[in-house]
Amino acid sequence: MSKIIYLDAGHGGADAGAVSGSRYEKNDNLNMAKAVKALLVKQGQAVIMTREDDTFVSLAGRTQKANEADADIFVSLHRNSFTNAAANGAEVWVYTSAGAVDVGAAAEVLERLAEVGVQSNRGVKKGNYHVLRESLMPSMLVELGFIGNAIDNQLLDTRFDAYAEAIARGICAALGVAYITGGTAQAEVLYRVQVGAFGVKANAEAFLAKVREMGLDAFLVTQDTAKKEE
């Protein structure tokens, strides 16, 4: 069964976020969100995005949309910024009072980003960010390196696809959903074994057991059940 994943591309429109020369955080965030969405949709997951173009959305509007959608997880994508250009690395934030579920979900994403290769792993941190505080589902804020650090930018650009897949894989792991590498998740198929076709219920149950032994999902349908479904 697919999950509802809310992807929040930080900033947008008049809110450029952090800026380094001609590089705007809002653009990096949106590009990554689109790439992650494409991968998750390919896996059969339902994805809702705060924005899919260069549009301003208030903080309240972001969490309201996620809460109304009853999303299973909220993932906000950002670039970090600091006055010292030597600051570097990736980190993931959860709310100040977040429990094991949120921390564990953030760790799944950060672990996979670290496997791809980041300049430094700054760990899972806790903070009082609006999108983390006001979202009603497990949530995280992913900082994909410092926009003022040349190496962090180079890593993001050269490993962009790998970073996107790392985030998608981490989200799926956090939700307990299998991620099929290089393929598309198959829709769930259920097989019905109808009692009437066998005459005797015991025979139908025996056949049902054999079907399940083959690793297929199947269920028994009686005549009364079949009528209700028509």
* Catalytic choice (25, 91, 108, 143): 143
The answer to whether 124 touches 91, Cβ cutoff 8 Å, is yes
What count of residues does the chain have?
A: 230
Single out the residue of 50, 32, 6, 1 nearest to residue 147, CA to CA: 32
The answer to whether 154 touches 11, Cβ cutoff 8 Å, is no
143 is catalytic: yes
Positions marked catalytic? 143
